Amino acid sequence: MSSLESNGLQIEDLQVSYSNGEPVLGKLNLSLPEFGIYTVLGPSGSGKSTLLRAIAGLLPGYGGKLLFNGRTVHDQHTLVGLVPQNYGLLPWKTVHDNIDIALKIARPGEADKAAREAQIERWLTAMGIAGLSGRYPLSLSGGQQQRVAIARAFAIQPAILLLDEPFSALDAMTREGLQRLFLAGWQEHPATALFVTHDVEEAILLGQRILVMPAGKAGTAEAPELLDNSAVFGMPYEDKRDSAEFMERSRTIRRMMQERWQ
């Protein structure tokens, strides 16, 4: 394999079974080049969260290989950030301290206090919540908590960034604001990002490529489809929704959903 081919996230024959034995993900093969946003669409139960959990190292075991730039993703060299659906903030820590503790854990001994403070300030400002630094998570709205979770994920400067339906609990306006902030954050720190969503529009607005998971047990169904979305990805956010390219992607994906998920 050339060095170019091994750049990014390589998923080779990934297979996951939970204790009941049935394979949830079966022989999944994917090659995701570094520095891209990959949105993941699939029906409930198709293994989207399981895929993220495997990459995040949250499963006791799996079959196959997960490589990042040619090395296993779990060798301590690859920093993985996770933004869960329920924000995952520590309620007994302030916004500032939630990010600070993540930095200490993710980069032990690497950043001194001044460097950590600079990162915290930078990402809270980028997410438009510098004024909330001293607040506790439970005193914030869902949208504000999700901004903190995104600021925290970017602040550790992960090589791989995993987002599991991060905006699904938010109203449409808040969601749109966070989609823009997420894209702006990613421009500043272009991690290899996997973004799970059940919203077709969100998948097209955010993804450079769109991974469409097959329905049902992946072990017994066909392989997932990786659709190119670079035409929409390259546009300014505000132009995307009304573009012919967006409509075309939307039609294609809806047709796939009808054919493959029903």
Taking the complex as a whole, the smallest distance from the CB of residue 116 to ligand ADP amounts, in Å, to 33
With b for 16 or more beta-carbon neighbours within 10 A and e for fewer, the 141-157 pattern comes to eebbbbbbbbbbbbbbb
Taking the complex as a whole, the smallest distance from the CB of residue 219 to ligand ADP amounts, in Å, to 11
Nearer to ligand ADP, 9 or 103 (CB): 9
Q: Report how far apart, in Å, the C-alpha atoms of 152 and of each of 40, 127, 183, 203 are.
A: 22, 10, 15, 22
Nearer to ligand ADP, 111 or 211 (CB): 211
Q: Please report the sign of the dihedral spanned by the C-alpha atoms of residue 68, residue 70, residue 72, residue 76.
A: negative
Taking the complex as a whole, the smallest distance from the CB of residue 20 to ligand ADP amounts, in Å, to 6
Nearer to ligand ADP, 141 or 220 (CB): 220
Distance CA 123, CA 80 (A): 17
Taking the complex as a whole, the smallest distance from the CB of residue 50 to ligand ADP amounts, in Å, to 3
Q: At what angle do helices 172-188 and 142-155 cross, to 10 degrees?
A: 10
Taking the complex as a whole, the smallest distance from the CB of residue 19 to ligand ADP amounts, in Å, to 6
Taking the complex as a whole, the smallest distance from the CB of residue 63 to ligand ADP amounts, in Å, to 15
Instruction: Using the structure block, give the residue that is written with the tokens 């799996």.
Output: 62
Distance CA 79, CA 212 (A): 25
Distance CA 205, CA 67 (A): 27
Nearer to ligand ADP, 177 or 216 (CB): 216
Nearer to ligand ADP, 95 or 218 (CB): 218
CB atoms under 10 Å from CB of 63, counted, come to: 15
Two structure tokens written together for 41: 């669409």
Kindly report the CA angle at 252 between 246 and 254, in degrees rounded to 5? Answer: 100
Nearer to ligand ADP, 39 or 46 (CB): 46
Binding residues (CB under 6 A) for ligand ADP: these are 18, 20, 24, 42, 44-50
